[in-house]
Structures are given as C-alpha cells and as structure tokens.
Chain A
Amino acid sequence: MSLPQQVITIALCVFGTMATRFLPFLLFSSKKPTPKYIQYLGNALPSAIFGMLVVYCLKNVEVLSGSRGLPECIAILAVVGIHLWKRQMLLSIAGGTVCYMALVQFVF
C-alpha cells in the first residue's frame, strides 16, 4: 500500500467511527424535541448495552476447550461478591482482576 492509500484507509476508519458516534446527535438535534420512541430507547437501552458489553468482553472465551471459561466465571463471581459486599467500584474491579490474573498464571 502506498502512503496516500494508507492515509485514505485510516481516514475511512476515522469516518466510519465518527459517523456512528455523531449520527444520533445529527438526526435528533437539540432544538427540536426528541421523538418519544427515541427517548424511550435512550432510557431502556443502557441496561441492555451494559449486558451486551459484558458478553462482548467474553466473546473469545473458549467454553469447549482449554480452561473452559472457568477462570472468567470465578473472577466474575469474585467481582460481583466483592461489589455486593463493599459497593466500592475500584475495589471490586481490582479484586476481580487480581483474582483472574492469579488464576490464569498459577492455576489454569
């Protein structure tokens, strides 16, 4: 690939990304009231999105081979447990991550 072709490729990646980020704001300008259906989606979507992002993070876990997703399962349980116990975001995240690193480095 020549340099101009590389520049175009990168520019297209930027354009694709920014199109998806800016489009809702361009379609529903703040001057006109947002349609009720879109308002509803704006309220209902986030719970579904966070669920989707958790699955997205785990998409490459092999359930049928290797450690069979056990370290991920245990570490997520640890995150949930610590969080319900102390309700401190940083502590839950750090605890779960340390637990996961220990599992993949020493146990599995």
Chain B
Amino acid sequence: MAYNDFDERGVYIMKEVPSKRRVILAAARQAFPCTIPIFAGFWFLGLTYGIYMNISGFSFLYPMAMSFIIYGGSLEFIAVEMLLSPFAPLQTLAMALLIQARHLFYGISMLDKFRGMGWKKIYLIFGMCDETFSINYSAQVPDGVDRGWFMFFVTLFNHLYWCSAATAGGILGSLISFDTEGLDFVMTAMFVVIFLEQWLKEKKHYSAVIGVGVSALCLLIFGADSFMIPTMACILCLLTVFRQSIEKAGDLS
C-alpha cells in the first residue's frame, strides 16, 4: 500500500506504482554520470596495476581475481610484492589491516545510510572503497530515485571498471605504452571537489580543518608510508575532545 493513499475527503487515490524494472533503470541512469571520473581514474590505475602484475611474471588471472575479491587499490599493489617475497602470513594480515584501517571510518559514517538496504547491504559494504564511499556518502540522490539501487549501481560500476582495467592490463602487459602522465590526478581532483562541496554545505568547519591539518602534520612527522594510523587516531581524539563545540556549532550535515 506504500504508493496508495486516501485524500482529505477519504477518497482512495491510486498513484502510479513504478514497475521494479523502471526503478532499477532510473537508478542506474542516475548513478552512471557520478562514476565517470572514477571510470577515468580506475582505468588508469587498474591498467597500471595489471601491467605491473604482468611484468612481475603473473598470469592475468591473478590481477583479475585479486581486483575482484580484494578490491582495494593500494593493498593490491603491495600484495604484488608480498607474493614475490617469502611466505609471511602474519605480516600480510597486519599489513592488510593497517592499510585498510581507514574503511572503519567509512563504515561508521554509513551506518545510517545503509540501514534497511536488505541483501544489497552486503554488496555495498563489500565494495566500499575510497571512491565508492565518497560518491555514495556525498551524492544528492533526487526524489523519486531509489537510493538503495543508486548506491548499488555506483558500487557495481566502480567495481567493474577496476576489474576490467586490471584484467586488461594483465593480458596486454607491457605491449601497451601510453602517454597519460598525470591522469592519476583525476582522483585527487575528485576528492578536492567532494571536500569542497562538503565545506560549502557547512556553517563551521571544525571537522574539515581537523582532517586536513592533522593529516598534513602527521604526513610531515611520520612520512608517506606510515602516517595514516596516527592520523586516524589524532582525528578521533580531536573530534572526541571538541565534541561539545562541534555539536553546538551544528555544522553536521
């Protein structure tokens, strides 16, 4: 009865119930344009990753399977080195947890948005990489478009871009050479835009300033390879210490 209603005189109104197929198609059509920057970025990075695996002596089946089931860019690059080194399971697990720890923050931010998504929720969480999280968190889904299917398609499209690019790179290997130096900046540009949009939505910018400031400071102190964990810890501390002022400022979107 969700789509049917009674008007104020008690007359039963039949609203048009959109067919399931139309709901799904509308969500896919809405989701696709949001993923175009990621298409460019993932094809560049994915091809690079596949080529890297190919010249490291692995069959294309490796990048294909790994991009599909690990689905986390930076760890996959590091996994290539792990596969070429002596077997060290504990170190591998510790490394994976450390590199991927930032996903904990994404999950906490998405607890509400993924509520009531049914079976889709499993896939939405599985495919929640940096880029997919950023789009699904920040995209304004228009009224009438199903948010669950929208997020599902954003996740699916990104997942497919990454896998197909990694597989293509693994098959073609060093046969391809391209002059696309600098194309990887597409990801940076995307995060800058999302950050800016978030900034424009807020009245006060405590959290945004904490995020940039702490990350930059930790990068200076700890260096590029090990600054993420201290960064996350400091962000948590500061957000906890300044909880009252942040909540009072009401700059929570």
Q: CB within 8 Å of B: which residues of A?
A: 1-2, 5-6, 8-10, 12-25, 28, 30, 34, 37-60, 71-72, 75-76, 79-80, 83-84, 89-90, 92-94, 96-97, 100-101, 103-105
Contact = CB atoms under 8 A, between A and B. Distances in A.
A1 B86 contact: yes
A83 B193 contact: yes
Contact of B96 (A5, A13, A39): A13
B116 interface: yes
A25 B125 contact: yes
Given A38-B108, A47-B211, A97-B183, A13 B235 contact: no
A98 B217 CA distance: 29
Interface residues of B, number: 98
A80 B196 contact: yes
A89 B128 CA distance: 21
Contacts of A19: 97, 100
A97 B224 CA distance: 23
Contacts, number: 255
Given A44-B246, A50-B195, A16 B75 contact: yes
A23 B107 CA distance: 8
User: Which of B72, B103, B193 has the most C-beta atoms of chain A within 10 angstroms of its own C-beta?
Assistant: B193
Contacts of A83: 193, 196-197
Interface in B88-108: 89, 92-93, 95-97, 99-108
Closest 5 CB pairs of A and B: A16-B96, A51-B211, A48-B211, A24-B107, A55-B215
B192 A80 contact: yes
B66 A10 contact: yes
Nearest to B207: A47
Contact of B198 (A37, A50, A89, A105): A50
11 contacts: A10-B66, A13-B79, A25-B107, A25-B121, A44-B246, A49-B106, A50-B134, A50-B195, A54-B215, A55-B216, A103-B182
Interface string B151-194: 00000000000000000000000000001111101111111111
A40 B212 CA distance: 19
Contacts of B247: 40
Contacts of A76: 188-189, 192
Contacts of A49: 102, 105-106, 109, 211
Contacts of B70: 10, 13-14, 17
B104 A23 contact: yes
B212 A28 contact: no
Nearest to A84: B196
Contacts of B86: 1
A15 to B, nearest CB: 7
